[in-house]
Amino acid sequence: MHQSASSATTQDTETALQTCRDLQHLAKSASSNGGTVPNGVKIISTLIVTHVNVPEVVQVAVVSLSAVLTGVPHAPALARLEGGVKACVTALQNHTDRAKITAPVTKLLARLCSSSAMTAVAFVKEKRALDSLLRTINTHLADHTVVSPACDLLVGLSRHDKSAKLLPASEVVSVLRDVLVGYLGRWDVCSSSLRVLKNLAKCEDARLTLLRSTECTKLLLGVSRILARLPERRKLFKRAYRTLWVLFQGLLPALPGPEMRLEVAEEAADQPMGDEEMERKLFPEISPQSAVPDTEIYSPEDSIVSRVRATVVSPLHLPDAPTAERSGEMSQSEMFHSDGDVLVARAMLHELERILHPSRVRNELVYDDFEGPLVSQVSTSNNNSYQQAAPGAAPTGSRTVTPPLWETDSTPGTPDLADLGSSRTQRLPSFGRRAVSGVGRVPIEQGEQATNGAAVGSETAQENATKQGRHIGGKAGGQLTEMAVAALATATALEGRGRVGAAAKPGPSQGPAPAAVPTGDTPPLVFESRFESGNLRRAIRVYDREYDLQIAPDANDTDGRCQWFFLSVAAAVPGLPYKFNVVNLGKKESLYNAGMRPLLCRSETAEHFPINGTAHPTSSQYWREWARAGEDICYYPAPYRSPPTQTRGNGQTKGGNRRRRGSQNLSVKGLGNGVRNGEENEGHLTKSSSGKEPVVRGVGSGLHGVTFTLQLEHSGLHYLAMCYPYTYSDLQQYIRNMLHSRLLTPTTSQSISDICRCSLLCRTLKGHRVDALTITDFPSLSFSDNPSECTSDGLVGPERPYVVITARVHPGETNASWMMNGILDFLLGPSDVAERLRQTYIFKCIPMLNPDGVINGSYRCSLAGVDLNRCWGNPNRKRHPSIYYCKRMIDRIARSGRLVLFCDLHGHSRKEDVFVYGCEPLRGREVDRDCVDPRDEAEARARVRLLPYLISRQNPAFVLPKCSFKVSKSKLGTGRVVVCRELGVPNSYTIEASLAGCSTTGRHLTASDYKEVGYAFCRALADATDAIEGGPETEMDLLKDIDAACNLGLVMLSA
């Protein structure tokens, strides 16, 4: 009887194995044909459950299940509904000690749970599923083939909010501690482990658990110290660093949110303009009535500059400040710095000192853009003495929030890190009032000795580390055993000092309490940005001479974009180094690590100045020119994070995986909730079709910052900026001076009105002018009232082609205005080339498309909170008036067939040199043409590179290989693409000039250099005109040169 049962069991096993193999073979065949195996998941899942005690069957069945689910649409849902997830959990529970089963099971589950939140929740809710997973990791801690997919599974479980809340955070951290220590040489496992910790830190429930246990904090601090010494593992160090600051955001002052719901008068936003009025104002070359210059171009109201926030200084004070073009030859300070990115790790470690030693952090708010400097009047004199405040006294005039966060409870004491980590208050916690006990010093820098508590390298710590690190070596990478022991020793030493942040209890084992942080050592600096284009939102004194600078986000921009800065600082002690951290920049990369320095403008003799910001030196004799300055410069991951984003109930942002930029609109009176591209109510999150309410994620994305150290020469006023400022008032003054200068040059009798007319294109949302300049040789134009003698545009004689040039659609790209200045200076100059260009073309120049953004110190957006250079496809007349009327003007010219060139001037914050973005001509298949002559396509590709090639011959800062003519989907709404594809102008370009400098010379570009780019553009246009007028042979020779320089490989051009 027993023999018969055994024979039957063997037969069932063989049958199950054969079934699994057959299904695996069918799955491979179906996958190659794009099909699936019907009921394959259900059959295999049943076999796993019924033969769970037969390892051979389970092993083969799991492999077959993975094959059946490969390439299947909605595989996670299929596995969850047909029992696949439950079968995998059953196999994991019964075969925890078998690596050949646990490895493929965890790998399959990791793939399913990573892509489906519901599958991840289903796995976590399975009985003893998490216990089995953690036990599997502990059992096979020395086996990389099991630990790696198991950690990937934890990543998949922790990336979804619903499943992350169900994870036992303390137990997971305990397991990952052993994994990190044992696998410091296997960076894929380390990466997954750190990702799990970061995901848990982002989950509010898990974050509180991690803060209360403090084991995660100790582990991350120890690992960060090791990874900081490995430059090739900077990404892992950044992940550990970011995780720590997700936990301890409460230690930082809250970032300012975007200024939303700006009310704008309806009449300012809605400015209808008829065709006749448009022609009269914008096309003086075809309107006889405009032969006499308009003497009422400017009204007194045009001199008023209106900011979103109160302006307390003269709106025209910046022209009184140093003009960048006065800079002479480049000094040594104009050279790139040579630090590179070697200081990034040091800057990140320095920021972690705030977590290790919160008692040393001041967190004093010294400037707020709505209130001004929060310091009293400071009198500075030639002697460098200053009064020292009494010990323990707060600096004069600075504001420290009282009571601190932790004193709101009935029991006073040191802060609870769990409260600090979860606090989302807008108040500024100050740690300078009370020393935080129980936090020993962990040496950060190499060679630094441990003090105040158990030494990191103590004998006990080393012994514990050796015991815990028993799995180090072999497959786990034994080459970093010493580092692993040191990491665990750091955690052990911290653990021996008691709970981080807990209230200290007096006892013999505890040394004397740390002394209170001395305040008033150095008087606080005085910041100001309530002037035109200034954008400092808050300044916070972190340490005695270190300040966090929070830049104001673009008004009404929900993305909180910040990258450009402009502010003033005063009351410095001469000769002392001050460290500035601009902490809320959005881009992951910047040219600061490539050698870029910030700009400093120094006042020369201002010894006494008002602190309240109501006035500034008004004479240029007080100023020197702008100069590059700063030491110890680096661009690094800042500890701050952006404000939380609104999402749907399923965790996705409105509009899909990525929230649409500018999704919240400003309120324009008479427009209701705002209109964007004809879509109403787009700026408000309402109930979705599924009925799910919008939710707010508790953690925003990580921000970046630039840190630099300055030694100010005197205590007077200084300006700091990212690039040479050029304000709206600067432009208005330039136009006034140009129009009021009656003669082109003192030696000629030609008037400016003979070559330049200024028109009002439109007004912005705040009522500021958007000027359009028309430059051509007006006296040579003739008008006729006889329609039979006129061309389609009302002109007699040969039709002059048009060139349209725009700039400053992005307010923070100030170098675009300096390039535009160079173009205008050249075209309005007396040179023979300029005269020939004026007689050949009609130039339409719009120097500033976004005056509102420029005035308010925005980086990229208008007051509507949108990037205007993404609105060209369908601009709204009320929300994007400058783009709407500019496109209308360009369309008017393009329909006449006379628009030969469009150029938009920009600055670039992540690339060096000067280059061009163009539009590659559409190929035959892209325009639905069956037969297109390849010679025509090849010639068209060379022609769009004609102007960039000629500019590169005129200016050494222009680098032709960096030019790009590809059009990505994200650029379809830009000016150059819309003018090319929609309006049919192939020569449509964006000229990009680096905000830093040249890669070949290693020097910064000055304002004069940017103007030289404008000169080179005009000379290149003259050369292109000469080549085209020289005949087909001359033009073809030039196209061949372009073919060779750009490596186009166009055979027809060399034939």
pLDDT, tens only, 918-937: 998 876 444 444 445 566 77
Neighbours of 969 (CB within 10 A): 6
- Cβ atoms 583, 702 nearer than 8 A: no
Q: How sure is the predictor about 626, in pLDDT bands with cuts at 50, 70 and 90? A: confident
Q: Given a cut of 50, is residue 385 above it in pLDDT?
A: no
pLDDT tens digit string along 61-114? 999 999 888 878 888 999 999 999 999 999 999 999 999 999 999 999 999 999
pLDDT tens digit string along 46-62? 999 998 889 899 999 99
pLDDT at 341: 78
- Cβ atoms 995, 815 nearer than 8 A: yes
Q: Given a cut of 80, is residue 33 above it in pLDDT?
A: no
- Amino acid identity, position 881: P
Spell 699-709 as b/e; 16+ CB within 10 A means b.
bbebbbbbbbe
Q: What is the pTM of this model?
A: 0.80
The SS3 assignment for 4 reads helix
Q: Supply the residues annotated as catalytic.
A: 992
CA atoms within 13 A on the CB side of 497: 28
The share of the chain scoring above pLDDT 90, in percent, equals 43
pLDDT at 804: 97
pLDDT at 274: 55
Among candidate residues 873, 854, 982, the one with its CA nearest the CA of residue 306:
854
pLDDT at 754: 85
pLDDT tens digit string along 335-348? 888 887 789 999 99
pLDDT at 10: 77
Q: How sure is the predictor about 1039, in pLDDT bands with cuts at 50, 70 and 90? A: confident
d(CA 316, CA 319): 6
Neighbours of 457 (CB within 10 A): 16
- Cβ atoms 240, 409 nearer than 8 A: no
Q: Given a cut of 70, is residue 916 above it in pLDDT?
A: yes
d(CA 1036, CA 807): 32
For strand 546-551 and strand 577-585, is the pairing parallel, antiparallel, or unpaired?
A: parallel
pLDDT at 885: 93
Q: Given a cut of 60, is residue 135 above it in pLDDT?
A: yes
Which stretches of 919-1053 are assigned E, i.e. beta strand?
A: 988-994
Highest mean pLDDT among 178-192, 788-802, 841-855: 841-855
Q: Given a cut of 60, is residue 29 above it in pLDDT?
A: yes
Among candidate residues 601, 628, 593, 624, the one with its CA nearest the CA of residue 334:
628
pLDDT at 512: 37
What DSSP state is assigned to residue 670?
T
Mean pLDDT of 694-714: 80
Q: Given a cut of 50, is residue 536 above it in pLDDT?
A: yes
For strand 702-711 and strand 631-641, is the pairing parallel, antiparallel, or unpaired?
A: antiparallel
Residue 6 in tokens: 């055994």
pLDDT tens digit string along 279-307? 677 788 876 555 444 444 555 455 566 66
The share of the chain scoring above pLDDT 70, in percent, equals 67
The SS3 assignment for 68 reads helix
Mean pLDDT of 204-232: 88
Q: How sure is the predictor about 1032, in pLDDT bands with cuts at 50, 70 and 90? A: confident
The gap from C-alpha 55 to its chain's centroid, in whole angstroms, comes to 52
- Cβ atoms 761, 885 nearer than 8 A: yes
d(CA 750, CA 705): 52
Place of tokens 């400093």: 600
pLDDT at 737: 87
pLDDT at 275: 56
pLDDT at 73: 82
d(CA 622, CA 642): 39
| Axis-axis angle for helices 481-496, 215-227 (nearest 10) | 140
* Alpha carbon separation from 897 to 793, 888, 901, 921, 936 (Å, rounded): 11, 15, 11, 18, 20
Neighbours of 110 (CB within 10 A): 21
- In sequence order, the 6+-apart residues with CB closer than 8 A to the CB of 888 are 278
Place of tokens 């180094």: 577
Higher pLDDT, 782 or 1051: 782
Q: How sure is the predictor about 413, in pLDDT bands with cuts at 50, 70 and 90? A: very low
Among candidate residues 708, 538, 698, 719, the one with its CA nearest the CA of residue 623:
719
Q: How sure is the predictor about 1029, in pLDDT bands with cuts at 50, 70 and 90? A: confident
Higher pLDDT, 1037 or 773: 773
Mean pLDDT of 990-1018: 94
Mean pLDDT of 589-610: 75
Place of tokens 């209360």: 212
- In sequence order, the 6+-apart residues with CB closer than 8 A to the CB of 485 are 462, 465, 466, 469, 472
Q: Given a cut of 80, is residue 409 above it in pLDDT?
A: no
Mean pLDDT of 592-601: 92
Report the range of poorest mean pLDDT among 18-27, 396-405, 438-447, 736-745.
Answer: 438-447
Rg from Cα positions in the chain: 34
CA atoms within 13 A on the CB side of 411: 5
Q: What stretch of H or E contains 1045?
A: helix 1032-1046
d(CA 106, CA 140): 13
- Cβ atoms 815, 724 nearer than 8 A: yes
pLDDT at 289: 53
Spell 626-635 as b/e; 16+ CB within 10 A means b.
bbbbbeebbb
Neighbours of 445 (CB within 10 A): 10
Mean pLDDT of 639-646: 80
Place of tokens 């593992």: 233
d(CA 896, CA 786): 19
Mean pLDDT of 520-543: 90
Torsion of CA 358, 179, 464, 474, to 10 degrees: -140
d(CA 296, CA 284): 15
pLDDT tens digit string along 981-999? 999 999 999 999 999 999 9
Mean pLDDT of 618-630: 61
Q: What stretch of H or E contains 892?
A: helix 881-895
Higher pLDDT, 859 or 333: 859
Place of tokens 């100001």: 528
Q: How many residues does the chain have?
A: 1055
Q: How sure is the predictor about 119, in pLDDT bands with cuts at 50, 70 and 90? A: very high
d(CA 1036, CA 1054): 10
Higher pLDDT, 351 or 484: 351
- Cβ atoms 435, 359 nearer than 8 A: yes
- Cβ atoms 818, 1007 nearer than 8 A: yes
pLDDT at 282: 79
Mean pLDDT of 621-625: 48
pLDDT at 850: 95
Residue 722 in tokens: 């990212």
Mean pLDDT of 587-592: 92
d(CA 1043, CA 82): 61
Residue 919 in tokens: 């539009």
pLDDT at 327: 39
Residue 73 in tokens: 């649409």
d(CA 462, CA 180): 17
pLDDT at 1024: 92
Q: How sure is the predictor about 190, in pLDDT bands with cuts at 50, 70 and 90? A: very high
* Alpha carbon separation from 610 to 318, 376, 389, 541, 570 (Å, rounded): 17, 10, 22, 21, 10
Q: How sure is the predictor about 643, in pLDDT bands with cuts at 50, 70 and 90? A: confident
Q: Given a cut of 70, is residue 542 above it in pLDDT?
A: yes
Q: Given a cut of 70, is residue 878 above it in pLDDT?
A: yes
Q: Given a cut of 60, is residue 532 above it in pLDDT?
A: yes
User: Average model confidence (pLDDT) for the chain?
Assistant: 74
Report the range of poorest mean pLDDT among 735-744, 821-830, 975-984.
Answer: 735-744
Mean pLDDT of 132-142: 93
- Cross-strand bridge partners of residue 721: 566, 599
Spell 347-369 as b/e; 16+ CB within 10 A means b.
bbbbbbbbbbbbbbbbbbbbbbb
Among candidate residues 706, 700, 711, 681, the one with its CA nearest the CA of residue 643:
700
The gap from C-alpha 487 to its chain's centroid, in whole angstroms, comes to 33
Q: Given a cut of 70, is residue 154 above it in pLDDT?
A: yes
Q: What stretch of H or E contains 45?
A: helix 40-50
Higher pLDDT, 991 or 454: 991
What contacts 24+ positions apart, CB below 8 Å, involve 230-238?
231/342, 231/345, 233/187, 234/344, 234/345, 235/191, 236/187, 236/190, 236/191, 236/194, 237/345, 237/348, 238/348, 238/637
The gap from C-alpha 640 to its chain's centroid, in whole angstroms, comes to 13
**404 preceded by a cis bond (ω within 30 of 0):** no
Neighbours of 1009 (CB within 10 A): 23
Residue 1015 phi, psi dihedral angles, 5° rounding? -60, -45
Place of tokens 């920021």: 351
d(CA 68, CA 84): 11
What contacts 24+ positions apart, CB below 8 Å, involve 920-927?
920/944, 920/965, 920/966, 920/967, 921/986, 922/981
d(CA 460, CA 468): 12
Higher pLDDT, 530 or 471: 530
d(CA 347, CA 209): 28
